[in-house]
């Protein structure tokens, strides 16, 4: 795989960073978690991992959720619509312009259609014709 040809797997890279962030969030990493973290780090391209590590070294989370398709969950600043559309199309990773964290969209949740009861029609009364005199 070419070093810079990761477009089809951009969403997977962010998911890996999110798993890594979850492992490292509390600071206490067991030896089993260290091995898992090393495996996850090996799957992430070096430039992306370097930026993530800089954020973590400053005590910040490296990945943030986009809430309501409009704002970064870390800094609460509005995210441009173009950034959201790029993430929806899964063509590139995106950074928050304000806080620098990697952004991701939550998985869409299938909302079941509400069941609307069928209207039962009442039988109509026959029309009464008036007879003219």
**Rg from Cα positions in the chain:** 26
- Looking up residue 41, the CATH number of its domain turns out to be 1.10.287.1490
Q: Is residue 35 part of a domain?
A: yes
User: Which residue reads 């970064």 in tokens?
Assistant: 72
Contact of 63 with 17, CB cutoff 8 Å: yes
d(CA 21, CA 105): 16
pLDDT in tens, 32-54: 888 888 888 899 999 999 999 99
Per-residue confidence (pLDDT) for residue 132, from 0 to 100: 66
Assessment of whether the complete model's pTM goes beyond 0.85: no
The answer to whether residue 6 scores a pLDDT higher than 50 is no
pLDDT in tens, 55-97: 989 989 999 999 887 899 999 999 999 988 888 888 888 999 9
* 14: containing domain: 7-104
Query: Of 60, 109, 64, which Cα lies nearest the Cα of 87?
Result: 64
Domain count, the chain: 1
């Amino acid at each position: 795989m070419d070093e810079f040809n990761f477009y089809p797997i951009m969403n997977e890279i962010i998911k890996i960073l999110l798993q890594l962030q979850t492992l490292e969030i509390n600071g206490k990493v067991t030896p089993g978690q260290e091995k898992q973290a090393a495996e996850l780090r090996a799957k992430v391209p070096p430039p992306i991992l370097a930026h993530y590590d800089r954020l973590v070294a400053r005590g910040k989370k490296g990945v943030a959720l986009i809430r309501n398709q409009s704002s970064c969950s870390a800094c609460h600043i509005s995210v441009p619509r173009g950034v959201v559309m790029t993430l929806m199309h899964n063509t590139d990773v995106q950074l928050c312009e304000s806080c620098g964290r990697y952004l991701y969209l939550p998985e869409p949740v299938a909302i079941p259609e509400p069941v609307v009861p069928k209207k039962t029609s009442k039988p109509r009364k026959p029309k009464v014709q008036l007879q003219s005199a």
